[in-house]
Amino acid sequence: MSMENKTIAIILGGGRGTRLDPLTRHRSKPAVPIAGKYRLVDIPISNCLNSWIRKIYVLTQFNSASLNRHIKNTYNFDLFSHGFVDILAAEQTPKSTNWFQGTADAVRQSLHHLSNYDYDQVLVLSGDQLYQMDYRNLLNVHKEEDADVTIATLPVTADEATGFGIMKTNEEGMIESFVEKPSYDELSEWSSETSPEMQQQGRVYLASMGIYVFSKEIMLRLFDENPDATDFGKEIIPKAIGEGSKVSSYSFDGYWTDIGTISSFFDANLDLTKTVPEFNLYDNDQVIYTRARYLPASKLTGTNLERVLIAEGCIIEASRIERSVIGIRARIGKGTTIENSIVMGNDTFATKDDIDHQSDNRPLMGIGQRCFISRAIIDKNVRIGNDVKITGGHHLQDGEYDKHSVVDGIVIIQKGEVIPDGYSI
């Protein structure tokens, strides 16, 4: 039986996703749409499938219907394989009436589900990162080093290091100490051996990516001995290092970005519009899977496009779209300009009936005519009338407003919102 079959993956879907609010008000964090047609959770699941890991749990704090539906409609394995992608929501049990208190607590509360399977190691992943990794390389390092725990690390510069948990390796490449978000002054003693290429770039600090492999016995023992520990990064990993477990580092040198905040989400999406983006959606081997929707091709009329990602099923008559991501079934009217924005699209097409019975005060689903939209995130199923102006930027005060929110200068129109003709932000 191959090693991959002995691995169970657990994807941590994050807590209430407050840092991604308001995108997480009506859906759990793993269900947030990304890159026009995917959802955040598709990234780690696709990495698992490409690495031949077929037993996957997604842990989420509160179970949104859209995540359930997405996973049920997307990841169906045939009857002859023993694969699954299952959602485990924080549940009240006779032993515990609490929500998940942290990453480690979430896994601890879910362990009883794992006991039905024969497994040797658990791969713990985060649900809000954008990267492509073959986990078999990580698992091989874990096996070759005969490690108890293996942590995927990313070589970073001094400037970046203060925002991460930083590992220090000894001569054998084992992690012997760990510091959470060190200050700039402390850094001198935290550099590690990295590849010559990384050293030239000043990337000599090993940052934890929040991706871990635990050997089964070690994980169960760490949970048993630390019943109050709620977090991997802050408690379980330092405990493992402190008690002398074999903790090895798997150094990853590909593209990786954390999508924990609105501005990182915004930047990661718009970076995909580059001619050669660092995250490659067009890879023959590292396929990103998502729900097969059977949508028609997108239709464009008279639109000037510059660095735009357009999903299927769109009907676009805009005059200009620049550096933007346009999601499924988006409808954009004549004379409209969109720049530096994310339009998430719609869950359904406008019907002929909608179009025929369009009342004066309720715009059609989509974006109307002669609008100007810049530095904005337009969530799904939004109705924007004609002659609407939305100009995001740091001149705007962050906060909650009548029909929109502003976070880091980015205007967010929430799911299902109706913006009347002539509205200006």
So what's the pLDDT on residue 5?
73
Instruction: Please state, in angstroms and rounded to a whole number, the distance separating the CA atoms of residues 132 and 279.
Output: 8
pLDDT at 92: 56
What's the pLDDT tens digit per position in 124-151? 999 889 999 999 999 999 999 999 999 9
Where do the domains of the chain lie, and which CATH numbers do they carry? 3-271 (3.90.550.10), 299-419 (2.160.10.10)
pLDDT per position as a tens digit, 85-120: 988 877 655 565 566 677 888 888 888 888 888 999
In 239-319, the DSSP E strands lie at 247-251, 256-258, 299-300, 304-310, 315-316
The answer to whether the CB of 54 falls within 8 A of the CB of 80 is no
Closest CA to 407 of 415, 416, 398: 398
**Closest C-alpha to 314, from 326, 302, 324:** 326
Q: Is the pTM of this model over 0.85?
A: yes
The DSSP letter of residue 62 is S
**72-87 per-residue burial string, b: 16 or more CB within 10 A, e: under 16:** eebbeeeeeeebebeb
For 65, the token pair is: 């219907």
Contact 329, 364 (CB under 8 A): no
Rg (CA), the chain: 23
3-class SS of residue 86: strand
Which portions of the chain are predicted below pLDDT 50?
A: 1
Long-range contacts at 139-145 (CB < 8 A, ≥ 24 apart): 139/3, 139/4, 139/7, 139/51, 139/213, 141/248, 141/250, 142/213, 142/215, 142/248, 142/250, 143/3, 145/173, 145/174, 145/246, 145/248
Overall size of the chain counted in residues: 425
pLDDT of residue 1: 43
Backbone angles phi, psi at 102, to 5 degrees: 170, 180
